[in-house]
Amino acid sequence: MLSRTLRLFLFGFGLVLALLAQAAYGAVVRAEVKSSLTKRWALPDLYEASVIELQTGLNAGDFTSVDLLKAYFARISEVNLQGPALRAVIETNPSALAEAAALDAERQLLGPRSLLHGIPVLLKDNIATTASEGMNTTAGSYSMLGSIVPGDAGVVKRLRAAGAIILGKANLSEFAHYRGNLASGWSGRGGQCTAAYYPGSDPCGSSAGSGVAASIGLAAVTLGTETDGSITCPASHNNLAGIKPTVGLTSRAGVIPISEHQDTVGPLTRSVSDAAIVLSIIAGPDPNDNFTLAQPNRVPQYERALSANALQGARIGVPRAMFLEPAYSGLDDTVMSAFGTALQTLESLGATIVDPADLPSAYQIYASRNESIVNAVDFKVQINAWYQSLYTNPSGVRSLAELIAFDDANPTLEEPTGYTSQSTLIAAEATSGYNATFYQALAADYQLGRTNGIDAALQQYNLDALVLPANGRTTTPAAIAGYPIVTVPLGFYPDNTTTESAGPNTVYPAPGVPFGLSFLGTAYSEYNLIGFAYAYEQKTMTRLARRAYPAAIPATQLADIISP
């Protein structure tokens, strides 16, 4: 007879084997269930999922907005502070799941309000959300942590009215890259954001986190802001579609400012169609932003511009002088070669390419300091007003001068090694308000950017739009004019590219990193630009040619969230 000890040992050993077998069987079952869910319902891949795909699944009952939020939260958790630590998201919305549940119930009862009903949207952290929801609005600065803003930004009100869910706040270059000589994508609160196509690569800014999050599906869509390049460049560096709207098409009320004469809010998305859907919802007049009251009476439904034939008969100009000259542009052979191929593609799609179609003011724009004067004066006046508008601010900061002092007094938070510069803030503080010098600079900007710039080229060559690679020089004429830019993916650097430093902890170019193509036009020409960009995008499908580096791609999908 077996001893009691031996019997107990055999029983325990058998139990362990049974549990191991059950665990293995359970893992197989879970994998089969996940595969079955994905195949049965064709659940969208969140890395590329479009607004239409998500909306279709929500309407069919394949998943809920609660499921979608949980999936995005899990994806953020995988890569934001863990793994590659991309630092694209500063914080998530603690009220989002409750809001999603309410919108799911509303869908069941009344149907969707819009194409963004129940769709999670990530906001750049300079776009205000009501404090009662549980999130901060700080422009990445500890000087505003815990502050109480008067309420939602104008664009957020429109998103909520359309049924969108605010997922959270994206990292950014602190104060929208209006602090000093700092790397793109760094903020005191968020740390150094990096792009997902090469470890440590420059995400570009200032809407860096919005760009990175959209590029790998940490949100359905994201919003950024641009003063000069801050939507266009992140779209370029993150393989995205981006729309920098005409100043005054989207409200800036409730957005931490740089310059009311240049600031604008727009989408960063994985496709032109998603960007058009978002723009249709956030565009329109707002009594809290006087600039929006000058826009055309009727905001177009921009998704109606989405035609593969949009370029047929269009005249597209190439402003080579200054913008494509290596001595001024800094463009390398890789980008210029891809741009040449893009011009051939545009021509094959029915466009007439007018090359060159130069801006008469090109070299004057390059030499001008007027933009710096306008932005510095606007920033001091408007950031002082922003601090004064806060109901409470635990830091005690109430002015630009106090902000500069706060940063110096809190170097661990705001001036770590490599990120100490406040040169731009200091220069703005030294300005003396709205005076003759300011107004002369503003008038000169409009003359250079509009009358003798973009509009002059469009009229002289009878053009519908201009096209350029999306680099730093591309954005300035449209920035000082207040005119729109639509950007789409153009190409990728080859695998043998030598990395170059872009900041203390970032590189660009680098192997496999993206770059973009920009369409520029006159005021309120977004509808045509969207059509041109869409036709090019659909022909080339450049975004799909390369994915992010493996560690930066979140694994979580809807099938991991949905209960069988």
Instruction: Give catalytic residues, as residue numbers.
Output: 124, 206, 230
> By three-state DSSP, how is residue 448 classified?
helix
Beta carbons of 209 and 90 less than 8 angstroms apart: yes
What's the burial of 239, exposed, middle or buried (CB within 10 Å: 0-12/13-18/19+)? buried
Compute the distance between CA of residue 480 and CA of residue 489 in angstroms, rounded to an integer: 24
Compute the distance between CA of residue 381 and CA of residue 385 in angstroms, rounded to an integer: 6
Six-digit token pair at 69? Answer: 């939020």
Strands 485-492 and 514-520: antiparallel
Q: What angle do CA 118, 215, 505 make, to 5 degrees?
A: 130
Compute the distance between CA of residue 225 and CA of residue 210 in angstroms, rounded to an integer: 10
The alpha carbon of residue 24 and the mean position of all alpha carbons in its chain are separated, in whole angstroms, by: 42
Length of the chain (residues):
564
> By three-state DSSP, how is residue 490 classified?
strand
Bridge-partner residues for 121, per DSSP?
A: 166, 221
Kindly give, in sequence order, each residue whose CB lies less than 8 Å from that of residue 506, ignoring residues fewer than 6 positions away: 183, 184, 185, 192, 194, 200, 201, 202, 203
Bridge-partner residues for 507, per DSSP?
A: 201, 501
Q: What are phi and psi of 465, to 5 degrees?
A: -165, 170
Beta carbons of 34 and 559 less than 8 angstroms apart: yes
Q: How far is CA 365 from CA 134, 214, 245, 323, 446, in A?
A: 43, 32, 21, 11, 11
Compute the distance between CA of residue 522 and CA of residue 418 in angstroms, rounded to an integer: 39
Following DSSP, what letter does each residue of 383-414 receive, concatenated? HHHHHHH-SB-TT---SHHHHHHHHHH-HHHH
Q: What are phi and psi of 156, to 5 degrees?
A: -70, -40
Strands 120-124 and 165-170: parallel
Compute the distance between CA of residue 50 and CA of residue 267 in angstroms, rounded to an integer: 13
Compute the distance between CA of residue 86 and CA of residue 236 in angstroms, rounded to an integer: 17
Q: Rg of the chain over CA atoms, in angstroms? A: 25
Beta carbons of 217 and 167 less than 8 angstroms apart: no
> By three-state DSSP, how is residue 142 classified?
helix
Beta carbons of 44 and 53 less than 8 angstroms apart: yes
